[in-house]
Amino acid sequence: MRKKKKKYNLKGYSHFEILVTISIIMLLSLVVFPVSINKIQISKLESSVSQLSTDIQYQQNLCFFKNVSGGIHIDSNRYSLFFGDTYATSTDIDIKDLPKNINITGVNLTNNNEIFFTEGNFKPSSYGTLNVTDGINTFQIYINKEGLVGYEKK
């Protein structure tokens, strides 16, 4: 007695079809990957800029409502919130470090590198602009004579 062999009719993709599909996916990833990395960098930078401008407003409100003098001292990779007549003589300092590769550049304030609020006054005695950059993207933070704080992408 002879055994009958069953024939299976298998269907699938050829090597060429798989190769073409993988090539298309790789080309798409070459386009999408750099764009998504840049968006992540911009988001990280904007988060730092938002935190700095919020801290400026916070210090402004504390000085006004607590009726004390204080301000923000700006360095290249960090800033400090302080209470007192000057940064050098202040006793209460809160230092905030910026994330790696994010720096403060182009500080154009009327009092060199400090934004200062006199006791009980909402308007700053020093105002101007400063740039925050990651080397590729830049945001500008501004504080005007009336004490309004904001930022925009340059």
132 exposed, middle or buried (CB, 10 Å; 0-12, 13-18, 19+)?
buried
Domains and CATH numbers, the chain: 15-153 (3.55.40.10)
Listed residue (85, 82, 78, 77) closest to 94, CA to CA: 82
Q: Is the distance from CB of 154 to CB of 138 less than 8 angstroms?
A: yes
Note the pLDDT tens digit of each residue in 66-86. Answer: 999 999 999 989 999 999 988
Spans of the chain, pLDDT less than 70:
1-5, 10
Q: What is the pLDDT of residue 91?
A: 82
Q: What is the pLDDT of residue 2?
A: 65
Q: What is the pLDDT of residue 114?
A: 93
| Angle (nearest 5°) at CA 119 between 113 and 120 | 125
Note the pLDDT tens digit of each residue in 83-109. Answer: 998 899 998 899 999 999 999 998 999
Element (H, E) at 142: strand 138-143
- Could you give the CA distance from residue 18 to residue 35 in angstroms, rounded to a whole number? 26
Q: What is the pLDDT of residue 107?
A: 93
